[in-house]
Chains A and B, each alone.
Chain A
């Protein structure tokens, strides 16, 4: 399940690069969170407008559809950095040492191949909706208020590219751990036991109002 995996740091080039990227990823994830907030506010305005002023927000659904890719894609690399994309670690959790790093390397490599293909595919999807010569460069627009769709479609290849960079850094991290036979390598999310993960999960709601 989602959790904070530990990512160790040191002064190496890899670790510094990784932390720089993490700053960007955090910013993108925050944009995603703010978009959720915006969605909430928009709904309040919409309900208020419809019920109290007999004036629905024009294009309400168009705006939601524009906001959703922001929410869904922008944080994808941030979540990968924290090991937050779920998996079953019953098998991989039994590995350690070089076996573990080799398995992680292969898995990460497969994801990288997939994501490169998806950058290509989602870029093509964006391109079909984009036309330099059209008004607002739009070749595909929303149904009600004709918002151009290309900005939202562009978010997918952009966010996926950031994920590709993150995956390259993780490959570097796992490769280095494999070659040097490291125990606690930097720059990669370390496999935690389910209990450790749960503790970390619980941590996220602990600094509230206790």
Chain B
């Protein structure tokens, strides 16, 4: 059997194992292991006395991957991005943000809901994980919205949707994972997420304002704050601005000149600032210990999937499946943009049933090279490309698109994780209620994705300044 056939069969085995409920990290690693054994044994013509040789080579090849791939500077961003989010919670930043947003934009139609969106966007700038953001704001924002007369389901939907922003606005664990898998510049990808994240938030806000203007008794604006009160609310939220500035300056210096360091250092420095703030707010060792354990658990979960998938990817390298898939995709007789849109739609469907990180890690090793080939290859110039952008720029653009798809899958039924989290926090809301409340935001997300596909400059302008 040819290597490529082995590649296809093992990939199917992997998806079956994942679907029936094997833990994603181990399903991927086990498939990779099986594939490696198979491919080495096939090299020896399946001779009975060569099986042990094939097993040994496969096991030793797979056994390299965890240490070799994990001991990387770029991956060190993930745990710091997770830690910063937990510490921000203990530093009281969530409440401060919501209060400030309320005083500044509460007067808009649907003001409290708009405030919630902006507060989640602000928190996204210190939190690398969407689920945590939704959980935190479900406690703070939903009760206030209900108390002034918002529909309970819609209030829950606002928080579930706003929570997703944390995956796009830097720092973002998902963007780092994408960068690692496709071996592109982490800094540029993080930077690229900034404007689309803002656009996404603005489209959410516009949708809310539109709904508030058309639906009677939607929920009153909350006005009457004096400028003095508005400014008084800022200091509490100031650390967020400080952290954003630090992270941005460590990725890219807007005033020209050198950036101050690496994204790794920026993330770590941001975490340090928030840590000092949490200490000042009275965080004790037990709470720090909890934060560290939670960080460790989430980081280990992500890293285990990463090395598990990379064992599978190592096998793919021997089977050359990505090459074959890319060849097939580029041979399709239809406009490349059409193919791209179909890939994005496939992600929307897959995302209904899968976890965002698992989905990206499992599919990107095969899909990413295909998309790059579609554009004309990794080193293509903008002039010769199908999408009108150079190879590295296409990598960034596609990254932002799939991360937006991943955010979308956090709120779509039946497995929209953010909705489960919000329903979990609020005893009076069922998951179905939250899905109903979040439904309008599907439209907003569809508009955002269409905008990003149609106007790649929104994604590419900032990273191309570097």
Give the nearest-CB partner of A80 in chain B: B23
Of A82, A92, A122, A201, which contacts B63 at CB under 8 A?
A122
Within 8 A of A (CB), among B412-466: 414-415, 417, 420-425, 431
Q: Which residue of A lies closest to B281 (CB)?
A: A209
Contact of A1 with B300 at beta-carbon distance under 8 Å, contacts A111-B23, A201-B131 already known: no
| A13-29 to B contact mask, C-beta < 8 Å, 1/0 | 00000000000001001
> Known contacts A91-B21, A120-B59; is A110 also within 8 Å of B30 by CB?
yes
Contacts of B271 in A (CB 8 A): 40
* Interface band, chain A: 35 or more
Chain B residues closer than 8 Å to A73, beta-carbon distance: 66, 70, 300, 303
Smallest Cβ-Cβ distance to A199: which chain B residue: B424
How big is chain B's contact interface, by range? 35 or more
How many Å from the CB of A82 to the closest CB on chain B?
A: 7
CB distance from A95 to the nearest CB of B (A): 9
Q: Is the CB of A198 within 8 A of B421?
A: yes
B355 smallest CB distance to A (angstroms): 5
A202 touches B296 (CB 8 A): no
Asked if A195 contacts B73 (CB within 8 A), the reply is no
Q: Secondary structure at chain B's binding surface: helix, strand, loop or mixed?
A: helix
Bound-complex Cα distance A117 to B293 (A):
28
> Closest CB-CB distance, B253 to chain A, in whole Å?
13
Does the CB pair B260–A205 fall under 8 Å? no
**Assuming the A-B contacts A29-B293, A86-B24, are A117 and B59 also in contact, with contact meaning beta carbons closer than 8 angstroms in the complex?**
yes
B62 close to A (CB within 8 Å)? yes
B79 near A114: Cβ-Cβ < 8 Å = no
Q: Is the CB of B61 within 8 A of A30?
A: no
Q: Does A46 count as interface, using CB distance less than 8 angstroms?
A: yes
Determine if B19 and A91 form an interchain contact, defined as CB atoms under 8 angstroms apart: yes
A67 within 8 A of B: yes
Contacting residues, chain A, for B357 (C-beta < 8 A): 86
User: In the bound complex, do residue A29 and residue B300 qualify as a contact, i.e. CB atoms below 8 Å apart?
Assistant: yes
Nearest to A116 among chain B residues (CB) is: B59
CB distance from A120 to the nearest CB of B (A): 5
In contact, B136 and A87 (Cβ under 8 angstroms): no
Interface residue? A118 (CB, 8 A) = yes
Expressed in whole angstroms, the Cα–Cα distance for A118 and B268 within the complex equals: 32
Q: Is the CB of A205 within 8 A of B26?
A: no
Question: Please, which residues of chain A bring their CB within 8 A of the CB of B290?
Answer: 204, 207
Given A195-B420, A202-B135, A120-B63 contact (CB < 8 Å): yes
Residues of B within 8 Å of A44, CB to CB, are 268-269, 272
**A134 lies within 8 A of chain B by Cβ:** no
Q: Which residues from chain B contact A68 at a C-beta distance below 8 Å? A: 70-72, 75-76
Q: Within 8 Å CB of B304, what residues of A?
A: 72, 76, 79, 85
A176 to B20, CA, bound (A): 22
Is there a chain B Cβ closer than 8 Å to A166's Cβ? no
Quick check: is B146 within 8 A (CB to CB) of the other chain? no
Instruction: Digitize A175-200: 1 where CB-to-B-CB distance is under 8 Å, 0 elsewhere.
Output: 00000000000000000001111111
Question: Does A171 make an interface contact (CB < 8 A)?
Answer: no
- A34 in the interface (beta carbon within 8 A): yes
CA distance A41 to B465 in the complex (A): 30
CA distance A117 to B29 in the complex (A): 11
CA distance in complex: A88, B362 (Å): 13
Take A39-B268, A208-B90 as given contacts and tell me if A87 and B22 are in contact as well, using a CB distance cutoff of 8 Å: yes
Contact A85 B425 (CB under 8 A): no
Q: Given that A88-B21, A153-B67 are known contacts, is A198 also in contact with B59, CB under 8 Å in the complex?
A: no
- Does A121 interact with chain B (Cβ within 8 Å)? yes
Q: In whole angstroms, how far apart are the Cα atoms of A30 and B297 in the complex?
A: 9
Question: With an 8 A cutoff between CB atoms, is A32 at the interface?
Answer: yes
Name the interface residues of A1-60: CB closer than 8 Å to any CB of B. 1-2, 26, 29-30, 32-34, 36-37, 39-44, 46-47, 50-51
Bound-state CA distance A136–B287 (Å) is 39
5 contacting pairs across A/B (C-beta < 8 A)? A68-B70, A72-B66, A73-B70, A75-B296, A113-B30
Q: A72-B300, A88-B19, A200-B424 are in contact. List 17 more A-B contacts (CB 8 A).
A: A29-B300, A36-B295, A39-B79, A39-B80, A43-B261, A74-B300, A84-B300, A85-B24, A86-B25, A90-B414, A118-B33, A118-B66, A122-B63, A156-B67, A195-B423, A195-B424, A204-B294
